[in-house]
Amino acid sequence: MPTLTPIEAVDAAIAEEMRRDSTVLMFGEGTATKRHALLEEFGARRIRNTPLAEGIIAGTAVGAAGCGLRPVIDLLFAPFLCYAMDELVNSAGKLRYLSGGQFSFPLVTLAMTGGGWGVGAQHNHNNEAWFVHSPGLKVVMPSTPADFKGLLKTAIRDDNPVLFFMDIGLLYQPGEVPDGEHLVPLGQAAVRRRGGDVTLIAYGKTVHACAQAAETLAGEGIAAEVIDLRTLKPLDTVTIVDSVRKTGRLVVAHEANRLCGVGAEIAALVAEQAFAALRAPIVRLGGPDAPAASSYPLEQACAPSAEAIAAAARRLMRA
């Protein structure tokens, strides 16, 4: 099995889908400049640079999708999705419904997010929950190179618009990626580690912090189950609820602002469907309600660490 970084896995997924389906094309900020191999293989008609104009890029993708194409667009950094909100939320997310199903909008929007590069508040803002809250959109955020490829291939084939968030801190961390056809279903979480004492739920790079915490806890006789959501919408509620019913304890962690974040939705879900199984209060760990710092140490201090996750699990075990 080849070893690829998530950046390489994304390009592999796009190349395979473009070979398979002539309606797949890609355009965006620096697309042709950065992706030389794709440009060489598929030409300038299907791999195109655009101006730094996110609204125009997204609007063009919505129009292309409505006309039968399957565009993949790269808007670079997640905060600049603000410029494309009307096109993605108000058009791509709603027009299938408004047309009574006469049109579909199969498009994928790539955006880098999260800490790790010290790029500061205007380029670092974990805003994935905004799109989870928007009807008609699907939201994906993988944690492994294999899932970057498998989820992206599935997203390209989906008939709905998909926001594909790429955690900056993971983009150059290599891992094994299946060669050839490899699809990961949207809406299916992965249980990265089995355990019966406490459930740790995360997505993106925070999955790795949870895995590290689970390893530490194992040395103390605490068996933590680690769930990688992979897809934030549709959310795999069955895997979440089943795990909490088994362990009776839940820590949900993400780098995004804790206020009204994905963790709040998961906590509400568990309170509604597994309250009787809880042995201790739910713990949410997340970033502060503050812009991201440019300082790398400050940026890292705002993200849930493995130490903080392990400490939360210990508190629950004593409760």
What does the pLDDT look like over 151-179, one tens digit per residue? 999 999 999 999 999 999 999 999 999 99
Q: Binning pLDDT at 50, 70 and 90, where does residue 145 land?
A: very high
Residue 11 has pLDDT above 90, yes or no: yes
Q: Which of 36, 123, 133, 182 is catalytic?
A: 123
**pLDDT, tens digit, 9 for 90 and up, residues 46-97:** 999 999 999 999 999 999 999 999 999 999 999 999 999 999 999 999 999 9
Say what the pLDDT of residue 117 is: 87
The mean predicted confidence, pLDDT, of the chain is 96
Determine whether 123 is an active site residue: yes
Say what the pLDDT of residue 118 is: 85
Q: Binning pLDDT at 50, 70 and 90, where does residue 122 land?
A: confident
Say what the pLDDT of residue 120 is: 87
**Percent with pLDDT over 70 in the chain:** 100
Say what the pLDDT of residue 9 is: 98
Mean pLDDT, residues 239-257 taken together:
98
Residue 182 has pLDDT above 90, yes or no: yes
Mean pLDDT, residues 30-47 taken together:
95
Q: Binning pLDDT at 50, 70 and 90, where does residue 1 land?
A: confident
**pLDDT, tens digit, 9 for 90 and up, residues 252-274:** 999 999 999 999 999 999 999 99
Say what the pLDDT of residue 319 is: 83
Mean pLDDT, residues 92-111 taken together:
95
User: DSSP per residue over the chain, as a string?
Assistant: --EE-HHHHHHHHHHHHHHH-TTEEEEETTHHHH-HHHHHHH-TTTEEE--S-HHHHHHHHHHHHHTT-EEEEEEEEGGGGGGGHIIIIIIITTHHHHTTTS-----EEEEEESSSS---TTT----HHHHHTSTT-EEE---SHHHHHHHHHHHHH-SS-EEEEEEGGGTT--EE--SS-----TT--EEEE--SSEEEEE-TTHHHHHHHHHHHHHTTT--EEEEE--EEES--HHHHHHHHHHHS-EEEEEEEESTTSHHHHHHHHHHHHSGGG-SS--EEEEE-SSPPPSSHHHHHHTSPPHHHHHHHHHHHHH-
